[in-house]
Structure 1
Amino acid sequence: MARTRVRTPHIASLVALTAAVPLLTGCGSEDASGPEGHKAAGHKPVVVVTTTWEGAFAKAAGAEDVTVIVPRSVHHAPDYDPKPSDLAAVAKADFVLYAPFEPYAAKIKEAAGSKAKLVEVNLDNDPAKAGAEVTRLGGLFGTEEAAARFKERLDGEVAELNGELRAAWPGGRSPSVAAQVFTGWAAGLAGATTVGTYGPEPVTPAQLAALSAKKPAFVLDNAHMSAGTVLPDTGAEQVEIVNYPGEDLDLLAVYRGAAAELKKAMSGS
């Protein structure tokens, strides 16, 4: 998921952007009254998110007007420097979604002079946690029915993928895996047995020795902050797990993608 190294965007960038706020906020609706007023008026919520990950959670919860600030090509969101267009989007938003490792979200909201509600999102693809977060967001957005429909789809998709992966277990037995701390959900999806974890800090020689001693068949690495080959010369096959959805903000595609990679690894292809 995110790196522990957090670098706040350049203060000078935010100061420069703030100078453009009068022009940006002047383009917004004069009768905007924040998220509660927007909800009461029966309008669909306008949501700005920092990355596609938050965007996928918002879309799953029922939001239809979702703007993503950080391009998907930027793997480490805290390294991104906001642009004037980002402030323009935030100025007209009802909700701004961010993760705790993105410390500049509050500064962007303040600089934009937005009345938006700042919402911290628990970015975890564990199906139970993801479902709970989508339900929570649906309550905030006033889109509870859409969130409930998504949770049903999520539960059904996960059950189907879990069945397919269990059928692909090598030798019919649950494979042993070492997982990066933000890929444990993928081990659960496969019904794998996690014998050890590592990260998000760099792996130490002592940790490598301990993981090697557990003799995992697979290493589930985090594609967004890869540690390189974690257990070289051990025979463990490394599988890259992607947490961030694509530009279509399809959260279910993340589970399908992980399942495809895991199935390929377990089949030896």
Structure 2
Amino acid sequence: MARTRVRITSLLALSAALLLATGCGAADDPAPKDGAKPPEGKPSVVVTTTWEGAFAKAAGAEDIKVIVPQSVHHAPDYDPKPSDLAAVAQADFVLYAPFEPYAAKIKEAAGSKAKLVEVELDNDPAKVSAEVGRLAGLFGTAEAAAQWKKGFDAEYAKLNKELEAAWPGGRSPAVVTQVFTAWSAKLAGATTVGTYGPEAVTPAQLAELASKKPALVLDNAHMSTGPVLPDSGARQVKIVNYPGEDLDLLPVYRNAAAELKKAMSGS
């Protein structure tokens, strides 16, 4: 992953500015109390990226604030703004991934009493279901999560069936996949013959992967190292992990399925 470049001094300075502004607020515009919940007891959730945001939305959260813009592919590179700290200070939950270590420092700098929740970001369907269920338990939104899971399972099964019907010659294609896009190979019912990354691929690894004679190489759009097996005849497919600003996880699977189907058809 990219190295974290968080300036703790700047975070603390922003925090001080935020606290000063809060302390000097007008009497007729009081600051909300820490931990205050939005209407109807719905949890206020701050997430570092749209990926955590999609998990939170699937779990039933409605009041979700995303810190890192979608245009930033590597969350640890992002420098939080005062508005980010303000959102954290009023949140009930702050969701982050292990490779985003500044999340705890954001919470500390903002003086938040929010519950910090580490999320395993993986679009493998079993892991998604487990994380969404766990978050729903924290949020108190189990019914909403159950409804989402029902729709998710149906859509996943549909896409899987369509992809298997598109197998070249009716046989499961052999694929090499970046470690964080293995879920897309599973979606296609493909046969994974090798993995690579997240570190740079060495010449020895390239030779080993090429010897497996894969039909497809599944590349992580957010951590691409360029062509992996350019002289092998394998088609490289770009897989996107992060959802859009609507925080809808299903289009991630639909888009991956479309790219995989196109690659398998040779078009």
CA contact (8 A) 1:8 1:103 kept: no
Note the alpha carbon deviations across 1:61-88, whole angstroms, 9 max, x for none: 0000100000000000000001000001
Q: CA 1:153–1:251 in 2, change beyond 3 Å: closer, same or farther?
A: same
Match of 1:201? 199
Match of 2:12? 15
Identity %: 75
Give aligned pairs, total.
261
Q: 1: CA distance between counterparts of 2:22 and 2:151? A: 38
How far the C-alpha of 1:24 sits from its partner, in A, is 5.5
Q: Tell me the TM-score normalised to structure 2 length.
A: 0.94
Q: 2: CA distance between counterparts of 1:28 and 1:164? A: 52
How far the C-alpha of 1:190 sits from its partner, in A, is 0.1
Partner secondary structure for residue 240 of structure 1: strand
Q: CA 1:168–1:11 in 2, change beyond 3 Å: closer, same or farther?
A: same
Partner secondary structure for residue 211 of structure 2: helix
How far the C-alpha of 1:42 sits from its partner, in A, is 5.0
Which residue identity does 1:227 align to in structure 2? T
Note the alpha carbon deviations across 1:25-62, whole angstroms, 9 max, x for none: 556423x447xxx49x9510000000000000000000
Q: Counterparts of 1:35-184 in structure 2 under 5 Å?
A: 38=37, 42-184=40-182
Match of 2:32? 29
CA contact (8 A) 1:24 1:91 kept: no
Q: Given the alignment of the two structures, is residue 259 of structure 1 paired with residue 262 of structure 2, yes or no? A: no
Superposed CA RMSD in Å reads 1.5
145-154 or 178-187, which moves further after superposition?
145-154
Q: 2: CA distance between counterparts of 1:157 and 1:58? A: 19
CA contact (8 A) 1:177 1:193 kept: yes
Gaps spanning 5+ residues in structure 2: where? 24-29
13-22 or 75-84, which moves further after superposition?
13-22
Partner secondary structure for residue 97 of structure 1: strand
How far the C-alpha of 1:268 sits from its partner, in A, is 1.1
Q: Counterparts of 1:193-232 in structure 2 under 5 Å?
A: 193-232=191-230
Q: 2: CA distance between counterparts of 1:6 and 1:124? A: 20
Q: 1: CA distance between counterparts of 2:31 and 2:202? A: 51
CA contact (8 A) 2:181 2:220 kept: yes
Match of 1:247? 245
Which residue identity does 1:65 align to in structure 2? D
Q: Tell me the TM-score normalised to structure 1 length.
A: 0.94
Gaps spanning 5+ residues in structure 1: where? none
Q: 1: CA distance between counterparts of 2:136 and 2:35? A: 19
